[in-house]
Amino acid sequence: MTNFRLDFIRFAVEQKVLCFGEFQTKAGRLSPYFFNAGLFNDGISLRSLSQFYAQAILASGIPFDMLFGPAYKGIPLAAGTAIALAEQGRNTPYCYNRKETKDHGEGGATVGARLQGRVLIIDDVISAGTSVRESVELIRAAGAEPCGVVIALDRMERGQGELSAAQEVQRNFSIPVVPIATLDDLLGYLQDRGEMRQNLAAVQSYRDRYGVKND
């Protein structure tokens, strides 16, 4: 596990964004952990989160020209990540979409830089993949090229079939999905903390039952 992945898991636990217990997922499964990126809701935590996104992007080596944040959660993530990348010496344009196309003022379906070149989509998680599909369609309609999706945590959990939501996106759109951290990174974090042994056993059991194979 690279340091920024470990640091991100620790950060999410300390911020109580990543919690342990018993939580029901949309699929009706009882999960031993819950990740709510919406709880990164102040300036300091958003700044740190954006820096983790920037680290994951740079470590991935994916060539990109700009960032796109799907409304609504992706908007602050794309803006924050653009700032974090600028702090790393890479000034990157970004834009985001409106839920409804504006027919007055500047008009259009997006706000910010014009969609062009290789566009990296920034979101919190991938569940059904609806946000990614809508983003890909919007980017391609503008004549630009979606080149990847960056998310905070990959649960590595099967959907309706044998693939995870992230794997389905990679298959359906032929673009990579880059998480800051994965469920396997969470397991690695828990293994190093004796006081979390009970959580480790529960998360590992869940991984064994619902998890997908590593790519």
Q: Assign 2 a pLDDT band (cuts: 50, 70, 90).
A: low
Token output for 24: 């029901």
Q: Confirm whether 80 is domain-assigned.
A: yes
In which band, very low, low, confident or very high, does the pLDDT at 193 lie, cut at 50, 70 and 90? confident
Q: With beta carbons less than 8 A apart as the criterion, state whether 86 and 54 touch.
A: no
Strands (E), the chain: 18-24, 30-35, 66-69, 94-102, 108-112, 118-122, 145-154, 177-182
Does residue 98 sit within a domain? yes
pLDDT tens profile 3-44: 899 999 999 999 999 999 999 987 788 999 999 998 999 999
Cα separations in angstroms, 36 against 20, 76, 104, 118, 124: 12, 15, 35, 29, 9
- Whether residue 139 is contained in a domain is answered as yes
Q: List, as one string, the DSSP characters of 190-212.
A: HHT-GGGHHHHHHHHHHHHHHBP
Say whether 111 sits in a helix, a strand or coil: strand
The encoded tokens of residue 13 equal 């636990």
The CATH number covering residue 156 comes to 3.40.50.2020
- The sign one gets for the Cα dihedral 5, 11, 13, 15 is negative
150/148 Cα distance (integer angstroms): 7
Whether 79 is covered by a domain: the verdict is yes
CA distances from 11 to 46, 51, 82, 195 (A): 11, 12, 20, 17
Residues 157-183 have a mean pLDDT of 92
| Per-residue pLDDT band at 1 (split at 50, 70, 90) | very low
**Structural domain includes residue 69:** yes
- What is the residue range of 123's domain? 3-210
* Residue 215 lies inside a defined structural domain of this protein: no
131 belongs to a structural domain = yes
Residues recognised as catalytic: 102, 104
Residue 47, in any domain of the structure = yes
Average pLDDT value for the chain: 91
For residues 182-189, average pLDDT: 94
- Residues 58-104 have pLDDT tens digits of 999 999 999 999 999 999 999 999 999 999 999 999 999 987 765 54
- The whole-model pTM stands at 0.92
Domain count, the chain: 1
pLDDT score of 136 more than 70: yes
